[in-house]
Structures are given as structure tokens and as C-alpha cells.
Amino acid sequence: MCGIVGYTGYRPAAPIVVEGLKKLEYRGYDSFGVAAKNNDMSIDCYKRQGRISEAEKAASMLKGTMGIGHTRWATHGVPNDVNAHPHYDCRKRIAVVHNGIIENYAELKRGLVSRGHSFSSDTDTEVIAHLLEEVYTGDLFKAMKAILPKLSGSYALLVMAEGDDRIIAARESSPLVLGFGDGEMFAASDMTPLLDHTERMMFLEDGDIAVLSPDNARVFSGDTEVTRKVELIDWSVGDAKRGGFKHFMLKEIYEQPHVFSDTIRSVETVPDGLARCKGAMVVACGTSYHAGMVFKYLLEEACHIPVRLELGSEFKYFTPPVTELVIGITQSGETADTLAALKKAKAHNCPTLAITNVLGSTVTRIADETLYMRAGPEISVAATKSFIAELAVLMQCVNHLSGGKFSEEIFRANRAVEEVLLLDLSTAVQTCNGADHIFFVGRGPFYAVALEGALKMKEISYIHAEGYAAGEIKHGPFALLSPKTPVVAICMPGSTYGVMVSNIKEMKARGTPVVVIGAGGDDELAAIADVYIGLPKGGLMEEVLMTTVVLQLLAYRTADSLGRDIDKPRNLAKSVTVE
Ligand code: F6R
């Protein structure tokens, strides 16, 4: 959601900023803009609604070696050229780009208007430029220090002004990363635009103001200059490139076998909080919530440790009694609802654990302990490899807590995933791509997989898809079954096999075409199914992984057959940093 990039150095800034913004496109946006400072120190700006590719050349032509840019995801004011960032003060001497939301902007705007300021846009951001205008006398850092206490809400800000040769960056509840080059300094809302230029990065903390010059960055918290660690990032530039694949999503699905192995190997022990806990609560959103649901089934079954599951967006507003370990799962580490839920858990004095893919992300600063996945950058909006990496972390935790019961299985699981990547799903795709509605059903951990399969299908193919616990279908959704509403059923061997077969037969009796995912060689089951996808033999964890990958591929191939914009589905943002 929204992205910002800044550069100050010896090269022309605008092309670097525009390239950086392109790397942030995956976060979702509706308009973009760049401001660069000319050698005569005046600021020029180019901004417009629409895709960067439609105006890349014009935006890159701005002159100067210092620049800031923005991809906007409209919150205050419709997407149009005027509301696109950067925003200016009345005299166009100060330019601001902003991620986040200024909650008290209406009140601030009223005051500014009454003092004679004239506004060009409907955005909350523009108040920042006008507030700066009132106090700026040539020292932009001083001006920022004076106005930031007036803002409430969240922000990652980059600001430039005529008469000051520094970029000032500030952060509050919205991520901001600095990149250190040689004689160049970069800033961005996440690491991806910086990977082309440097592996040395610094993650700002809430309340930080950074003063950026080509040779250094000084960071202040309040009146005190502070030291923030410069981290060496081992994500490669190639990780963030499509590398011959038609879409990032497909590339990321194919990366899963090694992502799973790398992550499993990296989780060598269980954090203290988890090792000690008698019960845990997971807070998460979307795909990460589904990972938490798989964890619940696996941990309760293997270790008899009860696990509660809460949506981040719900937990924040209600106060269920909570005393146990609270685990926040968030691949980006920036999902506002999950962060809010974890903060609330902390306020209840609960121990907290974060599971995330992003070093230095906000969740790592909230939680007491953090476990990292090793997925590398995930560019496609639809989460795939990060889900598998979340499962890897959680499965390895279950394995450790159970005394290594699943070691053999999880260390060979990458091979099972590799085999699934080779399956031909064309008949299943044909069954799905003409449908308006699809149900995905399973039981136990496969219910969580069904929910995730339905989420993938709906977000990238735009076909309405619902995940259901198989046993619940007859408590209502039966009314919707018809020859035009296929069901995708996960029916693996195990304790729920018999009842799943009955469920499938019941659905078939309503004329519903059923795509069944089951064990290879199960001829009886294959005979009931309209389309049968047989998987290699494996343990429960391998089955969870394999069925997940089948459903990811089914969603991908279905969406591709419909010509969808798979990596950037409509209305969606990669990282949901507002509540
Ligand atoms: C779906 C998807 C979203 C995210 C959700 C949470 O494909 O990507 O549902 O899973 O927005 O994101 P994180 O894990 O970053 O907290």
C-alpha cells in the first residue's frame, strides 16, 4: 500500500527514483509522482494517475541529484493527478511524499486554511507541506522536529525543501528503510528498491527522524542522536526479478521447495516463550491466518498444547481473555491489524512471538521474540512462498516441541513439493475457469488448506470461491450446489477419509462436478471424482504442503487461462498497512 523512494547522491535522481517505484508497484497503487531538485535548488515535480509504464520517460527526465517519489493507493481523495504525491506548500518550495494516514488532518487543515493557506488536493498529506511552510526558515530538520508532534496517525515521510540540501525522513507506524551506497543514500518503504544498489540497510524505528546526505544518515529520536544498526541483507537482486517466468506468482510457487528447506534448516530451536507455553494464541490476517490454522491442528494433535486463533482485525476491537503466548504471523511484518493485535496482547502482559519474512520489520520490534522465514522477497500480491515458509517455521516448531517426531518427514518434504509442481492440472482448470462460484472443502488441517485455496482462487481469478469445512456444506451451502458450481475436495488418507468420501458422494448427488485431490493409486476415490488429482504418498505435513501447492497452481492456471493481471490483482495491495 503506497510506496516511497528517495535518493541523494551524484547520479541523476529521477531515473533511480522511478526504477525504485517500479519495484514497489507490487504493493498496489493507482497513481505516482516524483520530485527532483535542480542544480539551482528549485524543485520540479511530475505526477499523474495511472501506471508508471505510461509515463516513465517523462518522470525520469526531471533534473537533479536529489529526488523523492511515491506510488499512491488512494485513501483521502479520489485517484487523480492532483491527489498524487508529492504534495507542496503554497509556494511550491517544500515537497512531501507520505505513506500512512494523518488522522487529525481535517482539524489541521481547517487551521491552516484559516491562516491563509490554499490547498490543491483532497489528501491528508498536503497538511504536512503547509505546516512545514509555517516554520521553515532554511533548516528542514528543525522544521520537521517542530511539526511532527502535531500529527497523529501513521507516517513514513520523505521531505525536500528549496534552500536545504538534505532529505529529511521520518517514521511513525509505517515502515521506512535507508540504504547506504558509496557517496549515495537511498530510502524506501521496503527493501526491494534498494537491492539493486546496496546490501547495507538500516531500519528506522517509530519516532525517528533521519537527515540524509549523500555521505551519511544521522538519526534522531526526540532531541537525541541515536545509533541504528546497519544490517547486511542477503536477499539477492535476482530474488526480486521475474527471471523468465510469465508471472512472479509462478516463479514464487516454483521457489517453494528450496524456500521450505532453507526455512526448516534456519529454525534450529524453539524460542523460550513457545518452549515454555501451556497454550498459545495466534493472531494473523489472510493467508497468514490460514498458516496459523494449520499450526493449531498440528500442535494440538502432536503436543496437546491448545492453540486459539484470532483474526488481527477482530482481536484489536474486542477483549477476549488472554494470558497465553501470543504469536503474530505476518510475512511482511507490517500488517496494521496484526501489529495492533500484538500490541494489545503486550498491553495484557502476554509474552509475544513474531513470525515474519522481513528483517527489521515493525513486528520484530513489537514482539519479545522473532522467528524468521527464509522466503526472500515476495513480489506477487498473492502470497504463496511466504505461506509455505510460514508453514515451514510452524512445522519445525511442532517438530521440535514433539521431540523431533517429524524430522524425517519435514526434511524430505521439499521433494514432495517438487513432484507436485510437475502435475498436469489442465482438466481441473477447465472445470474451474467457466464457473462463477467454486467451493473448496476439507477437514482438519485440510480445511485450512481449502480456505487458502479459495482465497488464492478468488483474489487472482476473480471467481467467487469459498473455503468450507466439508461437514458444514450441508448446513446451508448445499442450497447453492449445481452442475455449474464445482467443488474442489481434499480427501487424503487418514481419520477423516471415510467421512470425506461420504461428503463427496452427497455433493455429487446434487449434480455438482467434484475435483478431488487424494492419494495417488486410490482408484475407488478416483472413480467417484469428476477430476482426480493423485498425489505422491507422504506424511500429514507433506500432504498439507502438497495440497496447498496444487491449489496455488490451480488458482494460477485458472487465472492465467482467463487472462487476469495475476501479479497485481485489482483492488489489492501487498502489504496492508492501514486498519
Ligand atoms: C493473500 C494475501 C493476504 C495476506 C494478508 C496478511 O494472498 O497475501 O491475505 O496474507 O494481507 O499479510 P501479512 O502476512 O504480510 O501480514
Report CA(287)–ligand 1 centroid distance (Å). 5
* Closest Cα to atom 15 of ligand 1: 332
Report CA(479)–ligand 1 centroid distance (Å). 31
What ligand 1 atom has the least distance to the C-alpha of 384? Answer: 7
Out of 27, 293, 335, give the residue to mutate to test ligand 1, the one with the largest number of ligand atoms within 8 Å of its CB: 335
CA dihedral 195, 196, 197, 198 (to 10 degrees): 30
Q: Give the pLDDT of residue 73.
A: 86
Report CA(286)–ligand 1 centroid distance (Å). 5
- 3 bridge partner residues: 71
Q: What is the DSSP string of 217-241?
A: EEEEETTEEE--PEEEP---GGGGS
Evaluated on CA atoms 417, 421, 427, 431, the torsion sign reads positive
What ligand 1 atom has the least distance to the C-alpha of 332? Answer: 15
Output the pTM of the full model.
0.86
Out of 247, 331, 386, 449, give the residue to mutate to test ligand 1, the one with the largest number of ligand atoms within 8 Å of its CB: 331
The SS3 of residue 106 is helix
* Closest Cα to atom 5 of ligand 1: 286
Report CA(224)–ligand 1 centroid distance (Å). 36
Residues with CB under 6 A from ligand 1: 285-288, 330-332, 335, 338, 382-383, 455, 459, 575-576
Residue with cell 507520505: 98
Distance CA 489, CA 518 (A): 9
CA distances from 355 to 176, 339, 386, 387 (A): 20, 12, 11, 11
Q: Give the pLDDT of residue 241.
A: 78
* Closest Cα to atom 11 of ligand 1: 286
Above pLDDT 90, what percent of the chain? Answer: 85
In a structure prediction context, what are the per-residue pLDDT tens digits for the chain, which is 579 residues long?
689 999 999 999 999 999 999 999 888 888 999 999 976 678 999 999 999 988 888 889 999 999 999 999 888 888 899 999 999 999 999 999 999 999 999 999 999 999 999 999 999 999 999 999 999 999 999 999 999 999 999 999 999 999 999 999 999 988 999 999 999 999 999 999 999 999 999 999 999 999 999 999 999 998 899 999 999 988 877 777 788 899 999 999 999 999 999 999 999 999 999 999 999 999 999 999 999 999 999 999 999 999 999 999 998 787 767 779 999 999 999 999 999 999 999 998 999 999 999 998 899 999 999 999 999 999 999 999 999 999 999 999 999 999 999 999 999 999 999 999 999 999 999 999 999 999 999 999 999 999 999 999 999 999 999 999 999 998 998 899 999 999 999 999 999 999 999 999 999 999 999 999 999 999 999 999 999 999 999 999 999 999 999 999 999 999 999 999 999 888 887 777 777
What ligand 1 atom has the least distance to the C-alpha of 574? Answer: 8
Q: Give the pLDDT of residue 1.
A: 67
Report CA(166)–ligand 1 centroid distance (Å). 35
* Closest Cα to atom 9 of ligand 1: 286
Q: Give the pLDDT of residue 197.
A: 96
What ligand 1 atom has the least distance to the C-alpha of 456? Answer: 7
Report CA(329)–ligand 1 centroid distance (Å). 10
What ligand 1 atom has the least distance to the C-alpha of 335? Answer: 16
Distance CA 327, CA 397 (A): 12
> What angle in degrees, to the nearest 10, is found between the helix axes of 286-303 and 540-561?
160
Q: What is the bridge-based pairing of β-strands 43-49 and 31-37?
A: antiparallel
Catalytic residues: 2, 574
Of 104, 94, 207, nearest to 158 (Cα)? 94
Q: Give the pLDDT of residue 461.
A: 98
Out of 287, 332, 379, give the residue to mutate to test ligand 1, the one with the largest number of ligand atoms within 8 Å of its CB: 287
Of 20, 54, 23, nearest to 36 (Cα)? 20
Could you tell me the three cell numbers for 124?
491528508
Distance CA 47, CA 38 (A): 17
* Closest Cα to atom 10 of ligand 1: 287
Residue with cell 455433493: 507
Return the DSSP state at 25.
G
Distance CA 384, CA 548 (A): 9
Domains and CATH numbers, the chain: 3-233 (3.60.20.10), 244-405 (3.40.50.10490), 419-566 (3.40.50.10490)
Report CA(257)–ligand 1 centroid distance (Å). 20
- Is residue 87 within 8 A of residue 129, CB to CB? The reply is yes
* Closest Cα to atom 8 of ligand 1: 383
Out of 290, 311, 571, 576, give the residue to mutate to test ligand 1, the one with the largest number of ligand atoms within 8 Å of its CB: 576
Distance CA 150, CA 145 (A): 10
* Closest Cα to atom 3 of ligand 1: 286
pLDDT tens track for 285-330: 999 999 999 999 999 999 999 999 999 999 878 776 777 999 999 9
Of 493, 501, 492, 436, nearest to 466 (Cα)? 436
Report CA(334)–ligand 1 centroid distance (Å). 10
Q: For the chain, how far is it from start to end, CA to CA, in angstroms?
A: 12
Q: What is the DSSP string of 367-422?
A: SSEEEE-------SSS-SHHHHHHHHHHHHHHHHHTTSTTHHHHHHHHHHHHHHHT
- 5 bridge partner residues: 69, 188
Burial class (CB in 10 A: 0-12, 13-18, 19+), 40: exposed
